[in-house]
Amino acid sequence: MSLPIMGAPDKKQKKLTVYTIEECINCKKPTKREFKDGDLVHKILDKCKDCDNNIMISLIYGEEIKKKKN
Amino acid sequence: MDLIFIIGAGNAQITSNPIINLAIVYLPLALLILYGQKLQTWLITNDLSKTVGRLKEMRDKSRQETIDHITEGIDNKEETIKRLDSFLEYFTIMPVDLDPAGVINKLDHIMTSRDMRMKSEIKQLFPDLDELKANSVENVIEIATSFNFVYKIVRHFYLVGKKTNNFILLAQLQMIIPFLMLQADALNQAMTTFKKNQPVGDAIGPMIVGKLMLQHEKHDIAVDTVYAESDISGRKAILVTAKGPAGTVGQPGNAVQELIQKENPSLLIMIDAALRLEGEKTGEVAEGIGAAIGGIGVDKFKIEEAATNNNIPVYAIVIKQTLVEAISIMTKDIAESVDSVHDIINRIIDERTKPNDKVIIVGVGNTIGVIQ
Ligand SMILES: [Zn+2]
């Protein structure tokens, strides 16, 4: 057996929520929402309300939901 | 001091009754000496049987998920399930490497025929699927096949160890089980991601190069591989990556070979995901030298050979992540490395090339969920 270069398993499995980041290609204002089926990175969506340029999906990523402490 | 205490314990009188002394101290000692290994074997077998059971559950779940995914809206379910079960048993025989000269060509041939066969059979089975869905079906079947393989190997060693009562074999299996479970876990998460066509951690290379390719004309250069030409600080940048948004790694080896022949660039930059070591941070960006590309070695060989023959330096930029992260949904840390890698590319080009030079930039990885 070779040394385990692939690393060790995590003790707790992380629960990730998938988010989609939309960004106007001109004014770069990002909005974050939950992932919908059919979302793809660099997909062109609607026109921007402010400047009439295209809005593009810039990133899709999974993020752990942090529970708020009361 | 401890040693003296243990030696002394042999003579210890726990009670004044010699029979109770015998029962408490010497009898268990004798039993452990005689049957200690049997007991340990039994414990390990028990532990392993639980793990094998869990793997079986995971395998069955992955098979069911695959069936649900590919028979979505299809009438002829029976036939499809039968075909899927034969897919799960597909194997690839590696070429003989006793005489290693030319083994890469054989390997290339075998892997290409395997991909082609898989593609054409899926096309035959589901003629109406669009390219994106066909690719997702192919990926999901591949994951289920890997799952089946991991399960069967573990079960094999478990059964051999149990049948022959081989303590060493069982102990070895128990030692590597956590790492096999790590892979099983990764495959489990990959299934969800690939079904939904979401980008995986490994897609970071194609995503970084794909962003540079936006609004430039794309040309096909090899199977599932595209390139585009752009301008980066006065240099001609030739951008190469697999063709998204379908889940494929393309053939970067063939593409780079051909482009080096055609364009004679002065620099080759490769961007890929790399396995991070425990203690390193996910999404960390590192620079180095050499062909940053994983896989079975065919593409790496082709790129190294073309670069060596034409005396082109190969620069590598890698984004660190774990095995699980590489094949499941891209995490925030990985996704946000895009801009810093773009900065590094610009810096390398400024420092290492002259205006009007040509630079090939390759985004290596599975381009699932990413459009160029
Ligand atoms: Zn705008």
- The neighbouring-strand residues paired with B271 are B317, B363
Nearest to B371 among A16, A40, A63 (CB): A40
Does B308 score more than 90 pLDDT? yes
pLDDT exceeds cutoff 90 at B260: yes
Q: To the nearest whole angstrom, how far is the Cα of A63 from the nearest Cα of chain B?
A: 6
Residues of chain A that touch chain B, judged by Cβ-Cβ distance less than 8 Å = 1, 4-10, 13, 16, 18, 35, 37, 39-43, 59-63
Is residue A69 included in any domain, yes or no?
Answer: no
* pLDDT of res. B340: 95
pLDDT of residue A68: 54
CA distance B116 to chain A (A): 26
CB half-sphere exposure, B116, CA atoms < 13 A: 8
> Are residues A7 and B207, on separate chains, in Cβ contact within 8 Å?
no
- What are the φ and ψ backbone dihedral angles of B259, each rounded to 5 degrees? -70, -35
Whether residue A52 lies inside any domain: the answer is yes
Distance A17 CA to ligand 1 centre (A): 27
Q: Taking CB atoms and an 8 Å limit, are B214 and A42 in contact across chains? A: yes
pLDDT grade, residue B191 (50/70/90)? very high
- Nearest residue of B to residue A25, measured between CA atoms: B214
pLDDT recorded at residue B11: 58
Q: Report if pTM > 0.90.
A: no
Contacts of B336 in chain A (CB under 8 A): 59, 61
The radius of gyration of chain A's CA atoms, rounded to the nearest angstrom, is 18
> Domain segments of chain B: what residues?
3-43, 51-195, 201-363
Separation of alpha carbons B271 and B261, rounded Å = 21
CA dist B6 and B8 (Å) reads 5
**Domain-located, residue A3:** no
User: What's the mean pLDDT in B163-178?
Assistant: 92
> What tens digit of pLDDT does each residue of B353-365 get?
999 999 999 999 9
| Helices B131-163 and B103-125, packing angle to 10 deg | 110
Task: Kindly state the average pLDDT of the residues B321-337.
Answer: 93
By CA distance, what is B372's nearest residue in A?
A42
Cα-trace Rg, chain B:
27
Residue by residue, DSSP assigns B92-145 as -PPPP-SS-TTHHHHHHHHHHHHHHHHHHHHHHH-TT--HHHHHHHHHHHHHHH
If pLDDT is split at 50, 70 and 90, which confidence band does A67 have?
Answer: low
Instruction: With a cut of 80, say whether residue A7 has pLDDT above it.
Output: no
Q: Name the pairing type of β-strands B267-275 and B314-321.
A: parallel
Taken in order B262, B264, B269, B275, is the CA torsion positive or negative? positive
pLDDT at residue B154 in the model:
93
**CATH second-level architecture of B201-363?**
3-Layer(aba) Sandwich (3.40)
Pure H helices in B231-297? 252-263
Give me the pLDDT at residue B13, please.
62
**In this predicted structure, what is the pLDDT of residue A46?**
84
In chain A, the residue whose alpha carbon lies closest to the alpha carbon of B193 is A18
Judged by CB atoms closer than 8 Å, whether chains meet at A6 and B372 is answered as no
| Structural domain that includes position A29 | 16-64
Q: How many domains, in total, are found in chain A?
A: 1
Phi–psi pair at B360, nearest 5 degrees: -95, 130
Distance A27 CA to ligand 1 centre (A): 4
Domain for residue A4, yes or no? no
- Asked whether the beta carbons of B315 and B348 are under 8 A apart, the reply is yes
Distance from CA of A39 to the nearest CA of B (A): 8
Q: Which of A1, A7, A16 sits opposite B329 (nearest CB)?
A: A16
In a domain? residue A2: no
Which residue does chain A place closest to B177, by CA atoms? A9
Minimal Cα distance from A59: which residue of B? B335
pLDDT of B179 > 80? The answer is yes
Q: What is the C-alpha separation between B114 and B101, in angstroms, rounded?
A: 22
Residue B7 has pLDDT above 80, yes or no: no
- Does some domain include residue A7? no
Q: What is the pLDDT of residues B45-85, one digit of tens each?
A: 999 999 999 999 999 999 999 999 888 777 778 888 888 88
| Cβ pairs A/B, distance under 8 A | 84
In a domain? residue A9 = no
Query: How far A14 CA sits from the closest chain B CA (Å)?
Result: 11
Asked if the model's pLDDT at residue A3 lies above 80, the reply is: no
Chain B residues within 8 angstroms (CB to CB) of chain A? 172, 175-176, 178-179, 181-183, 185, 196-199, 203, 207, 210-211, 214, 244-245, 275-278, 322-324, 328-332, 334-336, 338, 369-372
Give the angle B259-B261-B265 at the CA atoms, nearest 5°: 70
Dist CA B353 CA B350 (whole Å): 6
User: Who wins on pLDDT, A11 or B98?
Assistant: B98
Q: Are strands B358-363 and A54-64 parallel, antiparallel or unpaired?
A: unpaired
Lowest mean pLDDT among B16-25, B155-164, B182-191, B223-232: B16-25
Q: How confident is the model over B350-354, as a mean pLDDT?
A: 95
Q: Does the structure show a pLDDT above 80 at B214?
A: yes
Residue A48 counted as domain residue = yes
Q: Is the pLDDT of residue B124 over 90?
A: no
Residue B228: is its pLDDT beyond 70? yes
B149 pLDDT above the threshold of 60: yes
